[in-house]
Amino acid sequence: MLAVFDLDGTLLDGDSTGIWLWERVRRSPLRALLALAAAPIAGPMVAIPRTRRAGASVLLWIATFGLREKDLRASLNRFGEAFRAGESKLTWRAGGLATLNEHLTRGDRVVVVTAAPALLAEALIGPLGHPIEVLGTSLKRRGGGWVADVHCRHQRKCQALAEAGHGARWTYAYTDSLDDLPLLRGAERPVIVKGGKAAERRLFRAGLLNGRAAAW
C-alpha cells in the first residue's frame, strides 16, 4: 500500500522553509535589512495561495543570494544536522512520526510530498535511514540567488506523484491543510491531522465522506 504524507504541520511541528530562511537571514545584517524591506509585500503574498510561490521566491532569493549549488546544499545539510541534534526550533510531531513508522513496519511504500524545497525535505527526512521517497518544490538559480521553480502544492502534489510513477490513487494521505484537498481526494483513506468535530465537518463539507480527523 502507498502512504502519502505532507511534511510541514503533519510530520513536522513547524514551517521548515521559514525556519531555515530565518536562520540564514538573521546571521547577515544585509540579508536582514533586505528581508525587512521586502516583508510588507512578500509576507501577504506568501499568505495567498495564488501568489505564494512568488512571495516565497523573494524571501528565498534574499536568503540565498551568492550561494552556488554546493553552498546551498551545504547550508541545507547543516540545517538538517542541527535539527537532528535538537538545536532547531523545528521538531517532529510525535503522532506523525509514529504513524509513518507504523507504515514502514508494515512494509508500505511511503512518500513525503511537500511544498518545501525538495532539497530541504531530503536533508530532514534522509537521516531517518528509511526507504522514504521525497517529492517537493524544485529550485532554480536566478540573478545570483535561488527561487522556486515548480511549486509543489495543491494539484501539483498529485502531478508529482503521477510523474514519479505512483498513479492517480493511493491508499493513505495525511495532511494538516485542505490546501491539499486534491491529495486527500486521491486517497482511499484520507486523514486530516487536526482532531475534533471542526476538522470532521471540514472533511464532510469537502465531500470526503471516507475521511477522518486525527489529533496529532
Structure confidence at residue 195 as a pLDDT band (50, 70, 90): low
pTM: predicted TM-score of the whole model, two decimal places: 0.92
Q: Which three cell numbers stand for residue 215?
A: 489529533
Q: What are phi and psi of 144, to 5 degrees?
A: 90, -5
Q: What are phi and psi of 167, to 5 degrees?
A: 70, -160
Q: Where does residue 103 fall: left (phi above 0), alpha (psi -120 to 50 degrees), or beta otherwise?
A: alpha
pLDDT band per the 50, 70, 90 thresholds, residue 209: confident
Packing angle, helices 16-26 and 52-64, rounded to 10: 40
The tens digit of pLDDT for each residue in 127-145 reads 898 999 999 999 999 999 9
65 pLDDT more than 90: yes
Q: What is the CA radius of gyration of the chain?
A: 17
Cell numbers at 138, concatenated: 524544485
pLDDT in tens, 143-155: 999 999 999 999 9
Helix (H, G, I), strand (E, B) or coil at 83: helix
Give residue 96's pLDDT band: very low, low, confident or very high (50, 70, 90).
very high
Q: Where are the alpha helices (DSSP H) in 93-166?
A: 94-106, 118-125, 155-163
